[in-house]
Structure 1
Amino acid sequence: MGNERAGEVAGADAIDARLAARLAELRTERGWSLGELAERSGVSRSTLSRAERAEISPTAALLNRLCGVYGRTMSRLLSEVEAEPVQVVRAAEQRIWEDRASGFVRRSVSPPDAGLRGELVEGRLAAGADIAYDRPPVPGLEQHIWVLDGALEVTAQGATHELAAGDCLRLRVWGPTRFRSPGPEEARYVLAVILP
């Protein structure tokens, strides 16, 4: 079991390194300095620098801000650090990304393909976890949130939706959103994301 965990950590480190390189590429492609990106994203220059050098593993909130600046969904950004697109991704091979600070685990269910507009993501929020996004990565993003287990509160456009297992919320995201797992168990849900 120790070797399996070590392999998972090594895999996570490799993804963080590729993600860091891609973040640096995106900024360079636009000809922006770290200072310009900091102004556009609202993220400190030092945090951006550390993320681009893979000194830190970016949080979901940080990636969301950067995706907003770069006009990408989080899944698209993460798929850009993958190799050739495939049509089938077996459950054991689906990419898992964890934001330990917030208690959020994200599994990319759909095979990665930056050229397609829709994707499925499995999200898990620990009981009591609360994640707030100040803006969508792409304005007008369509989301379908289908709760599989537990309860989930989703706040968007000034309204809070209390969802139980089996409930599905469909919305377009234009402004801030908040995902909260009120407990007592974790919330597990499917998020379908469709680019406008």
Structure 2
Amino acid sequence: MRDALDERLASRVAELRVARGWSLDDLAGRTGVSRSTLSRLERGEISPTASLLGKLCTAYGWTMSRLLAEVEAEPPAVVRAVDQAVWRDESAGFTRRSVSPPHAGLRGELIEGVLEPGADISYDAPPVTGMEQHVWVLDGRLELTDDRTPHHLGAGDCLRFRLWGPTRFHNPGPGPVRYAVFVVLP
């Protein structure tokens, strides 16, 4: 059974495409995702992966957080841990928690990510070119490649960079890696 967040996400993705006057073929050309996959996503037949959402966000010039925030209720000033939105890509071994959801007029947000051992997520292009990120590893080990520059991070390490090209998050193991990402829009 699909959850309500996935259903709202499917509807929002379809609305964004239609609002831009793009056909499924247009969106497929902009994302490199097949027309049939996009159609199935918009009809709510499949759950999006982190990679697929990344490609859609790049086409729309949005962050993943903004897209997810579009399908969530307006966030309050204080977000209790039990109320923080959690999104999972089970097939990729990735869990994403919006610790401080994006809010109109604010440029920063805080995200918690967890990658299972061996998980490997790549994003072909930044959702917003020049977006600043701070990645702080809380537990475990993370191999983060920023625009083809590899970084090996352990617990307590923090990497600050701007998104200009592709990124890759990989957990070499042996256990899960938990990290915080602070996103600052340009």
TM-score by length of 2: 0.96
Q: How far off its partner does 1:46 sit?
A: 0.6
**Post-superposition, which runs of at least 4 consecutive aligned residues in structure 1 deviate over 4 A?**
none
Q: Counterpart amino acid of 2:154?
A: A
Task: Say whether the 8 Å CA contact 2:102–2:108 is kept in structure 1.
Answer: no
Structure 1 match to 2:171? 181
Question: Within 2, Cα distance between the matches of 1:186 and 1:61?
Answer: 19
Matches within 5 A, 1:37-76: 37-76=27-66
Deviations 1:52-100 (A, max 9, x none): 1111000000000000011110001000001233111110011111111
Q: Counterpart amino acid of 1:159?
A: T
Q: CA RMSD in A?
A: 1.2
Structure 2 match to 1:146? 136
Structure 2 match to 1:30? 20
Deviations 1:16-54 (A, max 9, x none): 010011001100110111111111111110111111111
Q: Percent identity?
A: 67
Given candidates 62, 83, 100, the residue that maps to 1:93 is 83
Task: Say whether the 8 Å CA contact 2:141–2:177 is kept in structure 1.
Answer: yes
Structure 1 match to 2:113? 123
TM-score by length of 1: 0.92
Task: Say whether the 8 Å CA contact 1:126–1:181 is kept in structure 2.
Answer: yes
Q: Unpaired segments of 5 or more residues in structure 2?
A: none
Q: Counterpart amino acid of 1:145?
A: V
Task: Say whether the 8 Å CA contact 1:133–1:178 is kept in structure 2.
Answer: yes
Question: Within 2, Cα distance between the matches of 1:157 and 1:111?
Answer: 26
> Does 2:161 align with 1:168?
no
Question: Within 2, Cα distance between the matches of 1:50 and 1:57?
Answer: 9
Deviations 1:138-157 (A, max 9, x none): 11111100000000010112
Task: Say whether the 8 Å CA contact 1:79–1:114 is kept in structure 2.
Answer: no
Alignment size in residue pairs: 186
Q: Unpaired segments of 5 or more residues in structure 1?
A: 1-8
Deviations 1:91-113 (A, max 9, x none): 00111111111101000100342
